[in-house]
Amino acid sequence: MPTVNHMASQLHLSPKYMTDLLKQETGKTALELIHLYVISEAKNMLVGGSRSISEIAYQLGFETHRTLLGCSKKKLV
């Protein structure tokens, strides 16, 4: 899963500045936006393909499917 540091580095921004900017523009932190993106990607992969949740979790950078499920559960509550 992408990290805030990785995303900020790709954009040539400091992690704090990127997080502050995103929070100001969207009301969400960079980490929240990354989690929402990953969850959206996982849902698209589940609906549109024949891969298992474990395969999708691994492809998205999670060590286990339980980590992906825990991340999605927190965002859905």
Each residue of 40-74: pLDDT tens digit?
888 888 887 788 888 988 888 888 888 887 777 66
The helix (H) or strand (E) run that includes residue 67 is: helix 65-76
For residue 46, what are the CA distances in angstroms to 12, 38, 57, 63, 74? Answer: 33, 12, 10, 18, 19
Task: Round the average pLDDT of the chain to a whole number and report it.
Answer: 86
pTM of this structure: 0.74
